[in-house]
Amino acid sequence: MVIECKHVWDYISDYLDGSLPPETRALVQKHLDHCEICSAILDSTRNILVLTADDRVFELPVGFSDRLHQRLNAEMNKGVGDSS
Ligand SMILES: [Zn+2]
């Protein structure tokens, strides 16, 4: 099974969480090994998560797709909503 960039983007937050099933994680890992775009997104996402955890204002780097942007916002809003 081969996964595409857009699938990797869906998995990135779970990948960073360590909550992906091992076989899915392996697929993502394999894709990241040869895809510079997704590796860059992974790095940026990791930085964003760090910034978010730190309660600071952040901006997504130029080049992020709108879809990924929305996805990340949804993830972050989920986390923020927990503390109501
Ligand atoms: Zn990719």
Residues 79/52, Cβ–Cβ less than 8 Å? yes
Question: Ligand 1 centre from 81 Cα, in Å?
Answer: 30
pLDDT reported for residue 14: 87
Percentage of the residues of the chain whose pLDDT score is greater than 70: 68
Question: Ligand 1 centre from 67 Cα, in Å?
Answer: 15
Q: What is the pTM of this model?
A: 0.57
* Residue 83 burial (C-beta neighbours within 10 Å; 0-12, 13-18, 19+): exposed
Q: Which domain holds residue 23?
A: 5-81
Question: Ligand 1 centre from 27 Cα, in Å?
Answer: 11
Q: Give me the number of domains the chain comprises.
A: 1
Instruction: Report the alpha-carbon distance of residue 78 to residue 83 in Å, rounded.
Output: 10
Give residues with Cβ within 8 angstroms of 11, minimum separation 6: 3, 20, 24, 28
pLDDT tens-digit map of 19-48: 999 999 999 999 999 999 999 989 888 887
Cα 77 to Cα 5, 58, 80, 83: the distances in Å are 24, 14, 5, 11
Question: Ligand 1 centre from 24 Cα, in Å?
Answer: 14
